[in-house]
């Protein structure tokens, strides 16, 4: 049973020592209740409290880190089933599968592809996060060789070591000791030995159920492995077909979150590889939307990456943070130095609607969009973000004065009250009050033309 | 700890809606679970993908998606027949974009003639779309509805500003109606209420909560669709149990990711494959979120989506 | 329950014009009407008031307190205007209330003012950018604001936690989360923390005829969870407030209780 913040608070030392990084024990307790902090941050918590809190404060999907250092990626920690309820926490990891049947040159080429996969999109650096080593040859030597090339040529890239062969697992895990790889993995035949290897090299263990055993076999396996002292796992139900991936991923996430069913409270690994590359992309898209934490791909063309990165970014956006557009002067149509200049805030819906209506008016214009933390006009004004002095400063710094001859600024009707004050602060400018609602813009613009 | 699959059952069900006539009539909806969740309920019908064509040549479409239709697009009839006979389309969506006052400004009569010619030349179901100009659409869609009388088409889009005339035309000519609102679940419900308050059958409405392209607000459409589906199923809300439509192609084939040449953005890779992928990924997201009907453009994107649906059903 | 009269807001045209012209008449009329309708405090919302904030807030407070014997809730993001207002506030009629601080560092200086002028203060449970997703997040922010208040020397009894009411027409799920937050806030301290809401925000953007219905029913639910204060239209909610008091056993019932 999850405890409330206040219940947790009662178990804390109440010293307000700040060692956890929070200002008070109460603030820390509230964060624990939301599973946004770990109890380990408190050095003074009593053993009794730790036991009581242990289970309760553990996130329903265990947090796992893949890799170390700057390229390490976090997985798990999810708290909801639908993104409109609350932000999905840790974006899924994309891993390129590399077969150990490839030549060294081919392998190096693939490494380069992963390294060069970085794309910048709306201020975020997006990339292929990891490499999955595939033991297609069945030979431990070949797999060891692949692991050796990777650990030497690309030591920074996190890896998933996919083999069921114990000696291949041992050799490769040794190369990645303490670098947080996933060893995938353990099945009902080899889990005892695999657990030993994972333990020895402090690796996360990938648990694979057979396709016939499904979620039942999977939950039994994770419980057995846990008894052997392994805490960090990622899980695979054996689902490969899209229909099964959807079914299993949904049941796993529901069991973890709604039933707090610990044996399935681990990140999910999904193998999306297909002959048909576009179909593979769509299976990966299914994984992104429906709860996969690692998605293994057979190829990473740039067009494919761009689409998958973008979908991941969209799905993992915080639904509580208003979507914002970049602060700048947008051109609508092909404005000249005589074209009108309008201003609004950077709440994306406001921007979409205002720019759409300006477009409808068929008058080429400049639209100044000001950063107001994504608030709409009236809210931004009330919150002190869309004020005369801030508007004046933005207009001055925007450089628009170099692009237009006139000095007239059209402001939204809702902030008519600001017109005089803006004129005081923007010397030589005239402020015109536009319509209150965006749908009045076409008529407003037309009437100005006369 | 034994694993008991946490399956969900819902009190609600999506209405089954049939479109078209005769042997090629198609039914969508009818499920009592979330998209493709056949493991816990029934999903009697697969989602329907309609091929988009328009009444005037698609000179505003990017080259990659004009190309497949270059030999047929001069004439909407040959375009429709090509989709039906060569591409095996299951439905056609005819967009009367040429009626927009800022485009060719074709009259309602001209549009009606096009509709009549197209509907007479195909036997698969037809979706008839206006130009999204609320005033013009009122007159155009009335004429179009009459020209396709009793062919059980879907017509739209009816919006808050023009739903009365369009809904009346749909009733008079036995069509289904698209009710469109702009990314707001509350307004979507409100519009459905207003339309049914006119006496329009709630089981003949298709919800269009407004589509958006991958990277351009997709998450808004995604969540609105998910929430509509949950309201219909979990809350058993009769005003939110209609099939959902995603007008995918129109929103996808205007963003820079589907247009920009690889020469200008080498980091984005091949232009054509990128465009097709953009449309297909947007489409699959809409289907997962809850859409039963999609309108799409590129034959390869449609083909991939059909394959994916095969895997999901 | 403490009712803080919301009608003196710059958003309202009549009030805005009176403020611009420094016309005391309408301001005082509205203040008196709210007082008669049951307000225990009057909110003075002057907007961000970048240019003449100090003078405007002074004028508002003296204008209001000339005619009603009530404390004022100083409502603006303008720090200097708040300070100017606190200097002239007549504490004989009760202690003033600053509206507001939050978990946004830009708003921390408000706590300094509360400590310096022995004022009460509203802590809006939002941080910088982004809205709290649920009651738990609101409570977590509340705990941080409480810690901050203690740092600045503001006693917790003087802090009113505000869970931030959102419009039901666009953020329906938050209505219930706000009710839950009001309950949770009280548990954060002993004696329980005080709570306040901007009530009519719930019905912002709704058809006019729906607004009083939403406001009044929302108030009943909040009151049941122990809400301390509401910034609201006293006239609109008076029957509800009286009825709640009867049902909760805080006033003795009589057939004419509404007329009292």
**High-pLDDT (> 90) share of chain A, %:** 69
Which A residues, 364 through 423, put their C-beta within 8 Å of a C-beta on chain C?
A: 373-374, 381-384, 387-389, 417, 421
CA separation for the pair A295, B123 (Å, rounded): 42
Q: DSSP code of A131?
A: E
Residue of chain B nearest C169, judged by CA positions: B186
Can you read off the two tokens belonging to residue B140? 């155009």
Residue of chain C nearest B184, judged by CA positions: C170
| Rg for chain C, CA atoms, rounded | 18
pLDDT at A377 over 60: yes
Average pLDDT over residues C188-200: 95
Can you read off the two tokens belonging to residue C52? 């003449």
Q: Which one of C170, C202, C207 would you mutate to disrupt binding with B, by most B Cβ within 10 Å of its Cβ?
A: C170
pLDDT at C159 over 80: yes
Q: Are A339 and A329 in contact (CB under 8 A)?
A: no
Q: Say yes or no: B226 contacts chain A, CB-CB below 8 A.
A: yes
**Distance to chain B for A147, nearest Cα, Å:** 28
For B239-267, letters b (16+ CB in 10 Å) and e give bbbbbbbbbbbbbbbebebbbeebeebee
Of the pLDDT bands very low, low, confident and very high (cuts 50, 70, 90), residue A450 is: low
Residue of chain C nearest B186, judged by CA positions: C169
Residues of A in contact with B255 (CB under 8 A): none
Helix axes B134-147, B108-121, angle to 10 degrees: 40
Average pLDDT over residues A105-110: 96
Q: Look up the pTM and report it.
A: 0.89
Beta-carbon contacts of residue A189 (< 8 Å; ≥ 6 apart) = A164
pLDDT at C164 over 80: yes
Which A residues, 228 through 247, put their C-beta within 8 Å of a C-beta on chain B?
A: 241-243, 246-247
Residues of C in contact with A389 (CB under 8 A): 50
CA separation for the pair C211, C219 (Å, rounded): 12
Residues of B in contact with C170 (CB under 8 A): 184, 186
Q: Measure Cα distances from A372 to A275, A348, A352, A376 in Å.
A: 47, 11, 15, 8
Query: Domain-by-domain residue ranges, chain C?
Result: 2-259
Of the pLDDT bands very low, low, confident and very high (cuts 50, 70, 90), residue C116 is: very high
A9 vs C185, more confident:
C185
Q: Are A14 and A49 in contact (CB under 8 A)?
A: no
Which of C10, C78, C140 minimises the CB distance to A30?
Answer: C140
- CATH domain A5-57 topology: 3-methyladenine DNA Glycosylase II; Chain A, domain 3 (1.10.15)
CA separation for the pair A138, A101 (Å, rounded): 9
Residue A419 backbone phi and psi in degrees, to 5:
-60, -45
CA separation for the pair A216, A255 (Å, rounded): 12
Beta-carbon contacts of residue A384 (< 8 Å; ≥ 6 apart) = C48, C77, C78
Task: Please answer yes or no on whether A283 and B308 come within 8 Å at the CB atom.
Answer: yes
**High-pLDDT (> 90) share of chain B, %:** 94
Q: Say yes or no: A262 contacts chain B, CB-CB below 8 A.
A: yes
Residue of chain C nearest A374, judged by CA positions: C129
Q: Measure Cα distances from A234 to A65, A218, A264, B148 in Å.
A: 11, 11, 9, 56
pLDDT at A1 over 60: no
The pLDDT score that the predictor gives to residue A312 is 97
Beta-carbon contacts of residue A374 (< 8 Å; ≥ 6 apart) = A321, A322, A323, A324, A345, A346, A347, A348, C129
CA separation for the pair B276, B286 (Å, rounded): 16
**Distance to chain A for B257, nearest Cα, Å:** 9
How many CB atoms sit inside 10 A of residue B140's CB? 30
The pLDDT score that the predictor gives to residue A40 is 84
pLDDT tens column, A310-351: 999 999 998 887 778 889 999 988 999 999 999 999 988 788
Nearest to C49 by CA among C75, C86, C12, C87: C75
pLDDT tens column, B72-85: 999 999 999 999 99
Residues of A in contact with C132 (CB under 8 A): 320
Average pLDDT over residues A283-304: 98
The CATH homologous superfamily of the domain defined by A64-315 = Dihydropteroate synthase-like (3.20.20.20)
pLDDT tens column, A244-279: 999 999 999 999 999 989 999 999 999 999 999 999
CA separation for the pair C213, B152 (Å, rounded): 43
- Which chains form contacts with chain A, at 3 or more CB pairs under 8 Å? B, C
Q: Say yes or no: A17 contacts chain C, CB-CB below 8 A.
A: no
Task: Please answer yes or no on whether B305 and A303 come within 8 Å at the CB atom.
Answer: no
- CATH domain B17-312 topology: TIM Barrel (3.20.20)
How many CB atoms sit inside 10 A of residue A396's CB? 14
Average pLDDT over residues C5-26: 95
Q: Say yes or no: C170 contacts chain B, CB-CB below 8 A.
A: yes
CA separation for the pair B138, B132 (Å, rounded): 10
Residues of B in contact with C169 (CB under 8 A): 186
Q: Measure Cα distances from A107 to A98, A111, A153, A401 in Å.
A: 7, 6, 10, 55
Query: Domain-by-domain residue ranges, chain B?
Result: 17-312
Burial label, B170 (beta-carbon count in 10 A; 0-12, 13-18, 19+): buried
Q: DSSP code of B202?
A: G
Average pLDDT over residues B286-303: 98
- CATH code of A328-449, in short, is 3.40.50.11600
Average pLDDT over residues B112-118: 98
Q: Say yes or no: C16 contacts chain A, CB-CB below 8 A.
A: yes
pLDDT tens column, A39-86: 888 888 888 888 878 766 778 899 999 999 999 999 999 999 999 999
Residue of chain C nearest B227, judged by CA positions: C173
pLDDT tens column, B51-64: 999 999 999 899 99
The pLDDT score that the predictor gives to residue A356 is 80
C48 vs B49, more confident:
B49
Task: Please answer yes or no on whether C132 and A320 come within 8 Å at the CB atom.
Answer: yes
The pLDDT score that the predictor gives to residue A14 is 87
Nearest to A124 by CA among A368, A306, A349, A291: A306
Average pLDDT over residues B127-156: 96
B49 vs A213, more confident:
B49
The pLDDT score that the predictor gives to residue A116 is 95
pLDDT tens column, A126-155: 999 999 999 999 999 999 999 999 999 999
The pLDDT score that the predictor gives to residue B1 is 66
- Same fold for the pair A64-315 and A328-449: no
Can you read off the two tokens belonging to residue B91? 């439905």
Q: Are A221 and A191 in contact (CB under 8 A)?
A: yes
The pLDDT score that the predictor gives to residue A2 is 67
* A-C contacts (CB, under 8 Å): 81
Which of the residue ranges A8-22, A186-200, B177-191, C142-156 would you say has the lowest mean pLDDT?
A: A8-22
Q: Which helix (H) or strand (E) holds B23?
A: none
Pairing relationship of beta strands A64-66 and A73-75 according to DSSP bridges: antiparallel
Of the pLDDT bands very low, low, confident and very high (cuts 50, 70, 90), residue A361 is: confident
Query: Domain-by-domain residue ranges, chain A?
Result: 5-57, 64-315, 328-449
Average pLDDT over residues A173-186: 95
pLDDT at A170 over 80: yes
Name the average pLDDT for chain A: 92
Of the pLDDT bands very low, low, confident and very high (cuts 50, 70, 90), residue A34 is: confident
Task: Please answer yes or no on whether B268 and A303 come within 8 Å at the CB atom.
Answer: yes
What architecture (CATH level 2) is domain C2-259? Answer: Alpha-Beta Barrel (3.20)
Please enumerate, as own/partner, the contacts of C172-176 that have beta carbons within 8 Å and a separation of 24 or more. Answer: C172/B186, C174/C131, C175/C202, C175/C218
Residues of A in contact with C78 (CB under 8 A): 384
Interface of B with C (CB under 8 A): 184, 186
């Amino acid at each position: 049973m999850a405890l409330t913040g206040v219940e947790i608070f009662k178990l804390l030392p109440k010293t307000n020592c700040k060692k956890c990084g929070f200002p008070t024990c109460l603030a820390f307790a509230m964060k624990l209740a939301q599973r946004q902090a770990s109890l380990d941050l408190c050095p003074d918590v009593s053993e009794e409290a730790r036991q009581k809190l242990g289970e309760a404060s553990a996130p329903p999907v265990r947090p796992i880190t893949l890799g170390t250092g700057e390229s390490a990626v976090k997985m798990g920690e999810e708290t909801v089933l639908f993104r409109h309820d609350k932000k999905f926490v840790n974006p899924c990891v994309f891993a390129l599968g590399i077969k150990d049947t490839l030549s060294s040159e081919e392998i190096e080429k693939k490494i380069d592809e992963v390294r060069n996969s970085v794309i910048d999109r709306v201020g975020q650096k997006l990339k292929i996060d990891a490499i999955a080593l595939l033991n297609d040859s069945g030979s431990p030597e070949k797999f060891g060789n692949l692991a050796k090339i990777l650990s030497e040529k690309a030591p920074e890239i996190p890896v998933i070591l996919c083999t069921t062969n114990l000696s291949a697992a041992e050799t490769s895990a040794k190369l990645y000791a303490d670098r947080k790889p996933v060893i995938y993995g353990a099945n009902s035949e080899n889990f005892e030995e695999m657990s030993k290897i994972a333990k020895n090299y402090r690796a996360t263990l990938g648990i694979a159920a057979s396709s016939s055993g499904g979620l039942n076999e999977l939950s039994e396996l994770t419980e057995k492995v846990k008894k052997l002292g392994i805490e960090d796992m990622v899980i695979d139900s054996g689902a490969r077909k899209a229909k099964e991936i959807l079914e299993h991923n949904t049941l796993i996430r529901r069991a973890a979150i709604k039933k707090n069913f610990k044996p399935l409270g681990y990140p999910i690994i999904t193998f999306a590889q297909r002959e048909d590359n576009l179909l593979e992309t769509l299976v990966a898209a299914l994984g992104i939307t429906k709860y996969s934490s690692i998605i293994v791909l057979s190829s990473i063309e740039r067009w494919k990456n761009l689409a998958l990165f973008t979908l991941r970014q969209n799905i993992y956006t915080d639904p509580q943070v208003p979507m914002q557009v970049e602060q700048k002067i947008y051109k609508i149509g092909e404005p000249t130095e005589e074209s009108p200049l309008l201003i609004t805030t950077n709440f994306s819906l406001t921007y979409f609607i205002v720019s759409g209506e300006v477009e409808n008016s068929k008058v080429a214009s400049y639209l100044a969009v000001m950063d107001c933390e994504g608030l709409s006009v009236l809210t931004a004004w009330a919150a002190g973000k869309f004020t005369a002095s801030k508007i004046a400063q933005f207009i001055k710094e925007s450089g628009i004065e170099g692009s237009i001859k006139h000095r007239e600024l059209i402001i939204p009707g809702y902030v008519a009250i600001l017109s005089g004050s803006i004129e005081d602060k923007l010397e030589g400018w005239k402020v015109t009050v536009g319509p209150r609602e965006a749908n009045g813009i076409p008529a407003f613009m037309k009437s100005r033309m006369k | 700890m034994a694993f008991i699959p946490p399956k969900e059952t819902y009190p609600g069900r999506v209405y089954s809606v049939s479109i078209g006539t005769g042997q090629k009539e198609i039914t969508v909806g009818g499920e009592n679970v979330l998209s493709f969740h056949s493991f816990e309920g029934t999903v009697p019908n697969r989602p329907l993908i309609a091929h988009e064509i328009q009444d005037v040549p698609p000179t505003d479409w990017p080259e990659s998606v004009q190309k497949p239709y270059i030999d047929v697009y001069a004439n909407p009839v040959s375009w429709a027949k090509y989709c039906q006979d060569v591409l095996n389309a299951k439905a056609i969506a005819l967009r009367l974009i040429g009626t927009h006052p800022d485009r060719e400004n074709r009259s309602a009569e001209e549009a009606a003639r096009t509709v009549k010619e197209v509907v007479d030349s195909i036997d698969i179901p037809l979706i008839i779309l206006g130009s999204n100009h609320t005033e013009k659409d009122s007159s155009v869609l009335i004429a179009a509805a009459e020209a396709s009388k009793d062919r059980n088409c879907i017509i739209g889009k009816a919006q808050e500003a023009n739903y009365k005339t369009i809904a009346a035309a749909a009733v008079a000519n036995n069509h289904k109606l698209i009710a469109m609102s702009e990314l707001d679940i509350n307004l979507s419900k409100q519009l459905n209420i207003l339309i049914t308050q006119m006496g329009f059958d709630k089981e003949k409405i298709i919800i269009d909560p407004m589509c958006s392209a991958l990277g351009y607000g997709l998450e808004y459409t995604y969540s609105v669709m998910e929430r509509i589906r949950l309201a219909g199923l979990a809350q058993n809300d009769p005003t939110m149990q209609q099939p959902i439509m995603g007008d995918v192609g129109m929103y996808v084939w205007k963003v820079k990711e589907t247009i920009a040449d690889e020469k200008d953005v080498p980091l984005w890779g091949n232009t054509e494959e990128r465009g097709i992928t953009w449309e297909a990924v947007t489409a699959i997201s809409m289907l997962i979120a809850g859409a039963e009907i999609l309108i799409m453009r590129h034959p390869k994107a449609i083909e991939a989506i059909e394959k994916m649906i095969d895997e999901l059903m | 329950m403490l009712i803080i009269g919301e009608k003196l807001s710059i958003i309202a045209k009549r009030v805005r014009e009176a403020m611009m012209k420094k016309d005391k008449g309408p301001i005082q009329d509205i203040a008196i009407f709210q007082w008669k309708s049951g307000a225990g405090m009057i909110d003075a919302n002057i907007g961000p008031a970048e240019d003449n904030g100090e003078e405007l807030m002074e004028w508002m407070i003296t204008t209001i307190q000339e005619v009603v014997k009530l404390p004022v809730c100083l409502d603006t993001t303008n720090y200097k205007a708040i300070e100017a207002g606190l200097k002239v506030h007549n504490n004989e009629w009760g202690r003033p209330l600053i509206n507001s601080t939050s978990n946004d560092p830009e708003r921390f200086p408000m706590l300094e003012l509360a400590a310096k002028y022995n004022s009460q203060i509203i802590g809006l449970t939002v941080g910088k950018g982004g809205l709290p997703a649920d009651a738990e997040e609101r409570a977590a922010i509340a705990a941080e604001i409480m810690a901050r208040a203690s740092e600045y020397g503001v006693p917790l009894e003087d802090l009113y936690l505000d869970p931030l009411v959102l419009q039901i027409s666009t953020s329906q799920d938050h209505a219930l989360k706000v009710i839950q937050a009001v309950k949770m806030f009280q548990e954060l301290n002993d004696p329980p923390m005080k709570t306040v809401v901007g009530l009519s925000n719930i019905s912002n953007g709704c058809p006019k005829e729906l607004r009083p219905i939403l406001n009044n029913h929302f108030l009943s639910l909040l009151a049941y969870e122990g809400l301390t204060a509401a910034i609201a239209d006293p006239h609109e909610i008076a029957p509800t407030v009286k009825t709640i008091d009867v049902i909760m056993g805080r006033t003795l019932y009589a057939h004419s209780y509404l007329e009292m």
